[in-house]
Amino acid sequence: MKAIIEVAKRGSALQTVRRQLAASRQGQTPDFWLSFESARTLFTELTPARLDLLDTLSKLGSCSVYALAKAAARNYSNVHTDIVRLEEIGLVERGEDGTILVPFTAVEIRMPLAKAA
């Protein structure tokens, strides 16, 4: 399953649900869709530091926030704050043992150029 992050107009959630239902009916695991109304909002939430954490965490696999901070060579408090936000928007999951992980095989960011400005 992959995460698809997009810049989409308000009210496009219905299209996303239709895509997920169609995939489910075909026996596929539906992709995770995350939409933002503007590129500015998208990149406010998904900062370069947060994208780097996603990449590092996907390479490490399930681990503690402390281990991720150490691997990313970043301050624990800042990593913790970023992981909490990534968890809130659904890009990171926390296991029963408290470890964190990226549940996706890929993360795609789609942004039509007309909406980038």
Here the tokens at position 86 are 């990534």
Q: How many residues are recorded in the chain?
A: 117
What are the tens digits of pLDDT across the range 1-51?
Answer: 899 998 887 666 556 666 666 766 787 777 888 888 889 999 999 999 999
Query: What are the tokens at 113?
Result: 């150029």
Please give the CATH topology (third level) of the domain spanning 2-116.
Answer: Arc Repressor Mutant, subunit A (1.10.10)
Comparing C-alpha atoms, which of 8, 10, 60, 75 is closest to residue 39? 8
Model confidence over 68-101: pLDDT tens digits? 999 999 999 999 999 999 999 999 999 999 999 9
Residue-level pLDDT at 26 = 81
- AA letter at 60: L
* Domain boundaries of the chain, sorted by first residue: 2-116
pLDDT at 15 (0 to 100) = 67
Q: What pLDDT shows up at residue 8?
A: 82
